[in-house]
Every structure is written in C-alpha cells, then in structure tokens.
Amino acid sequence: MPPVRPEWRGALVAASLPLLLPLLPLAGAAQTQWARLSSASPSGGPSWQPLPTANPGSTTPEVQWQPLPEATGVPGGAASVIWEPLAPSEQSLLAPAPAGPTPAASATDRLQPPLSAAEAADLLNGLEPLPADYPPLLRLGPAVPTANQLGEQQGQISGFTLSPFSGGSASGTGNQNYSLRIDAGLTDQLQLSGFYANADDPLYAPISGRSSPPANFWESYGVALQWQLLNTSAWKLGLAGSLETWNVGSGGCDSFSCKGNDSASPNIFNSSGSRVYTRNLVGSLALPLTWQAAPQWQLSFSPGISFLPASQGAGQGGAGSFYGNNAFISGGISWQPSRQLSLFSSALLPLGPGSNSFNADLVYSRVPIVTAGLNWALNPRIALEGTLTNGWGATPATALLALPSSNRLGYFARFAYTPAAPDTPQPQLSPRQRSLASGGLTVNTALVPPDGTTQLWANADSSGNVFGYAGYSISNILQLDLFKGGAFNNVPQSTALADTYANDRAPQWRFGGKAVILSPLRGFPIWVGGRISLGREYPPGSGQGYLFAESISTWEASPSLALQLNPKLAWSGVDTPWAIGLGANIQLGRSFQLIPEANLVGSDLSQSNASLALRWLASKSVQFDVYVSNAAGLLDMGQLLDAGQARLGGRLVVSF
C-alpha cells in the first residue's frame, strides 16, 4: 500500500525564502550533513548538495527530524518541503500513534528521511492525493454553471460530445455536437475560458414540406470570463459572460460526399431550395450562486440570459424564424460520496421572449433542459463525465438549446484533463511491464507507458495495409491516442462493414485514449483498463465514422507469461460488431517475446481471425514485431474483419 501523506512530513514554504535542506550523505560518513541554501531550486523541489569532506576524526551527532506546522498564507511562488534537524538531546520523531493500545514501535515505524534526490522523488510519487487536489465541478452539465472556479495558474482542458442515441435522418451513430474547451485561472477570482464546437449532421427528424432532410451546420467559437464576487466557506457567487461567433448553415450539404453542393438539400428558413449560411455574433450572461450545504453536498442556482438571433436567411431568399433571446433560471445539486465520484442533476427553464426548441413542423417552443449524470475522477488530473440530457448546445450561449427538429433525450460524454494536478502514485514499471505497455497487435494489453512517455509506431503488411500511431501518456494511468490511422488495402468487400470502413487506400484517422483502472502496482491482482476511439474513413472512401470501445484485462501469470482478455465492439450506423479477444505474451529469453492472439467475432463468426507475432526488444525504447495474421488490419475495425488470406507484416515501435 502506498504511504499516506502525513501532516507531519514538513511545511510548505515560498521558493523565495531561505531553506534549510538535507544534503547527500558524505562518502564514508554515517550521518547526514546540512548546509543553508539561499533559495529553493527553480523547480520548486529540494536542492541537494554534498558538503566538503569532514576532517578526519571529527564526529557529527546523528540527525533527527522535526515536523513543521503546515504553512498557511504563504506568498506566491513554487512550494518546497523543508526539514529541521533536532538537537541531539531531543527525542526522535515517531509517526503519530493511533488511539488505543498499539504494539511497540519498530524502526520501520519511524519517518525515514530521503538520503538522495531519487529517494525524495520516490517518496513524493508515493503520496496519495489529498481531497483538495481534486478540481471542483465547474458546471453541472453544459447548461448550468456553478460558482466554483480554478485557482490561479491552474488550467483544465476538456473535450466532449452531445448526441441522441441514434442518427435519425442522418443515420450513422447520431447527431453529434463536438466541443473542446480550455479553462484557465488568471487569478483566484478571475477565470478565462476559450471554446470551439462543431456539428455537421443533417437534422434528426424529416421536416414537413421538405423533399429531403435539410443539412444542418453549427460552428461556435469564443471566450468566456467568470469573476468570483464572493467566496466563503459556505457560499460562492460569480458573474459569468461569454462572447461567441455562431456560424449557422441550413440546406446544401456538409458531408464529404457532396460538400459544397448548395442545392443538395433545402433549408429550413425559406423556400429557395438552397443553402442559407449566416455568421452570428452571440453571447450570454449568468450569475451563478453555489452553496456548500454539507461537506458532500453542493447546491447551485443561476439566473441568466442568452442572446441569440431571432431570424436567419435575410438576403438569401427570405428571412425565417430562429431562436431569439432567452432569459432563464437554472439550478442543480451535486453529491460527492467519495473524493473521486460526484453525482449531479440540473435543470434549466427558459423564460423567453425567444424559444429554445423546434419540431419537424418548424414550430418553435420553450422546453426545460434537464441533465443527470456523474463525474468520475480517475485521479486529480483525469476525469470522465457522462450524463443523460435533452440539451444539445455546447457553448455558454447555445447550451440552453434542445436537439434541432426533435426534443429528445440523448447523452453527454466528457473527458477533462487538469495538467498541473497530482498524478496517480505508483512504483515504476519493470522492464517487462514497459514492454507489455506497447500492447499487442490485434489484442490489446491493459498497461500504458509512464507519465510523459511518447510512443510511435509504423506498420505495413504484404497486402498493402499501411498504418501508423502517435500516442502520449498524460498520466501514469492514461495514454492519449493522438493519431491512429492509415489505409486498408485488399480487404474482401464481402460485408457491409468492410464496404463502408475498409475501402482500398481510403485514409483512416482516429483518436482516443486508453486508461488503466486497476493495477497490481496499486494492490489489485490483475491489470484492468479500457480504451475508446473515434474517427472515420475519408474520401475516396465512404466518409462514414464509428466508435470503437474495448475492455482489457491483463494477468501477469508468471514473470514470463502474461494473458489478455479483450472484449471489444464497434458502434456504427451499419452494424454493431463485437468480439472477444484472447492473447498471450510469452517471454523468450531476454530480447524476444512470442505473441499469439485470436479475435472470436460473436456477431459474425466467419469474421473471426488470429495472429502470431515474434517481438524483438532491440533496446529499452525500440522494438520490432514480425507477424502473420488473417485479420483485415491492426486498426480497430480491422480486428473485427477477416482478411480472407494470411498477411505477413511488420511493426516498428519507438518510445521515449
């Protein structure tokens, strides 16, 4: 079990203050020596410096360690931990004893000070995060802000999507609205946000009187500011505002197959039969109030107003009705049963004079926007959020809008990354575990490279498949797939899935991430993780996309044998194929591994496939795989399709 952060380890002080720091022990000396340093190191951590060799025959009393009270109100600057030596006559420091009778303290119960910079780093990496290390909930879903804010010089990057559970007229996996948002604490009272959102699927419901489903394009980008007017132990009050550009297109075509054809579908604003496109300047104001009712309960209330255009299409065949300005009241509640889990619900009620929804008859109305879901913090740095909601707008000004043409329940999925927050503590991976973190070929492993590791690979096979990958570990438990793609070649077009997602030489581009949920390094007997990716095939292919998700378990049965269980599925507008992946990694001496794999495709057993690879561990950072496989390819959907023949391939992996 990793050590728990004790209150008596030391005190945080400003980097500008003089520090008394422990120094590396002298060669041949049994005691730790000390010297006064003028300031902390630029990195904010302890500075280590050897003292000159002691005079022969000199004696130095054994150094003891004294806890310093937790510093409060320290001036700005990087923080460091300082230690103060006790006089020889003073009692040695012991960890605080629990209440009640306890066994006699042993030497291992004493606080052992670090004797080197490496030991200090290991000690720091083993400290469990404190509750205060976890960022607060900034919003209860997209539509309801809270008065919580990030602290000075803190930042958070989040990506999310809103979508109904089916594609409607657009078919596919849904009418997705994708968004990226960056929040930054300029000061403890002022938070700046920037955001971008994009949706380009046709309207969900067929529109009355229109010959075909109108194309619908929403693109928003802008900035927001939130100023904290009040911050007490129980109450917080903020003033938030946004200024945004909202590009709205209706009619024509926004898909890859016909983009630029302005007569491909009619618009919803007039009878011209062609595309209407308008660039709108919009904005919002809100006054969020948050009450900390109890340590685990927060209630938020926020009145506000959204400034949206009341018409579109003027000068392009005639103006038609649109949403207009809307005042609103909103509120929500959150419950935090543990420091890693928050459950919340919220509602927004538009008051007019405008509207926030329209149906298939183009009748505009006002409907409440309701949200319920959870926020799961894997650690202070990484959080996943999922909700059910009928909201579809992704920015502060558009968040009160329902799904265009059909007010219905959908989902909101969000990933949040807080770079400066503490990571999950864990020991270093062994060389064997680092090689397992490179994954398999068509069956994945549940390990990821350590925080800060970049991983690249390139792959080609005898039938013309070419794929590549670039990933980066933003945590000890999460690797981002920044790029995973390439092109299939010579895949039999015998199924609708192959005909849609594995066309010859059609570019593929996917992104996503793999997370480790449970680990032997944190007391669980096996590795358990999951991975999700999004992307599509580009022209000259179908232009269609799909979501790929997999659950991964890895059991290190012995130092030379690791077994994988890897259920997986692809959610697409064509079908939802699924498979059970089974794999092994067998260490053959110091530099080679044998990797047998099989994917049993439960949705269509004829598409089941198998692979056999030999991995050469050329160095700590370079490895090369040679394999034979009848899978259509290493890229996501390729693991669920049979290639019809055996392929010989190679893959070069580089990590640094």
How confident is the model at residue 173, as a pLDDT? 72
Largest CA distance in the chain: 101
pLDDT tens by residue, 599-653: 999 999 999 999 999 999 999 999 999 999 999 999 999 999 999 999 999 999 9
**CA 244: distance to chain centroid?**
25
CATH number at residue 479: 2.40.160.40
How confident is the model at residue 87, as a pLDDT? 52
Residue 20 belongs to domain spanning = 1-128
Two tokens, residue 416 = 């949040």
String of DSSP letters for 363-392: -EE---EEEEEEEEESSSSEEEEEEEESB-
- Contact call for residues 465 and 439 (beta carbons, < 8 A): no
Residue recorded with tokens 């879903």: 141
Residue 235 sits in the same domain as residue 323? yes
Among 639, 510, 620, CA closest to 564: 639
Residue 437 sits in the same domain as residue 483? yes
Report yes or no on 50 lying in a domain. yes
Among 89, 81, 78, CA closest to 114: 81
Report yes or no on 422 lying in a domain. no
Among 616, 643, 648, CA closest to 631: 643
Residue recorded with tokens 């092109």: 487
CATH number at residue 192: 2.40.160
- Contact call for residues 328 and 355 (beta carbons, < 8 A): no
Residue 450 sits in the same domain as residue 537? yes
Residue 332 sits in the same domain as residue 462? no
Q: Considering its fold, how many domains does the chain have in total? A: 3
Report yes or no on 357 lying in a domain. no
How confident is the model at residue 112, as a pLDDT? 66
Report yes or no on 378 lying in a domain. no
Residue 184 sits in the same domain as residue 278? yes
Residue 109 sits in the same domain as residue 185? no
How confident is the model at residue 486, as a pLDDT? 97
Report yes or no on 418 lying in a domain. no
How confident is the model at residue 88, as a pLDDT? 52
pLDDT tens by residue, 348-381: 999 999 999 999 999 999 999 999 999 999 999 9
List, in order, residues 6 or more apart from 452 with CB less than 8 Å away: 473
d(CA 608, CA 643): 10
How confident is the model at residue 168, as a pLDDT? 83
- 261 phi and psi, to 5 degrees? -85, 95
String of DSSP letters for 54-98: PPTT---PPPEEE--PPP-SPPSS-EEEE-EEEPTTSPPPBPPPP
- Contact call for residues 70 and 7 (beta carbons, < 8 A): yes
Name the stretches of the chain with pLDDT < 50: 1-80, 89-98, 100, 102, 104-110
Domain endpoint, select from 306, 340, 374 = 340
What value, to the nearest 5°, has the Cα angle with vertex 155 and ends 347 and 158? Answer: 50
Residue 264 sits in the same domain as residue 219? yes
Residue 118 sits in the same domain as residue 163? no
Report yes or no on 395 lying in a domain. no
Residue recorded with tokens 């490279």: 449
Q: Classify 29 as helix, strand or coil.
A: coil
Residue 205 sits in the same domain as residue 103? no
Among 545, 431, 532, CA closest to 478: 532
Report yes or no on 196 lying in a domain. yes
Report yes or no on 347 lying in a domain. no
What value, to the nearest 5°, has the Cα angle with vertex 486 and ends 484 and 487? Answer: 140
Q: Is residue 226 within a helix (H) or strand (E), and if so which, with residue range?
A: strand 216-231
List, in order, residues 6 or more apart from 181 with CB less than 8 Å away: 157, 158, 159, 160, 193, 194, 195, 196
**Distances, alpha carbon 425 to alpha carbons 37, 45, 338, 394, 475, in Å:** 29, 17, 18, 34, 10
Residue 171 sits in the same domain as residue 306? yes
Residue 559 sits in the same domain as residue 616? yes
Residue 638 sits in the same domain as residue 588? yes
Domain endpoint, select from 308, 340, 372 = 340
- Contact call for residues 639 and 581 (beta carbons, < 8 A): yes
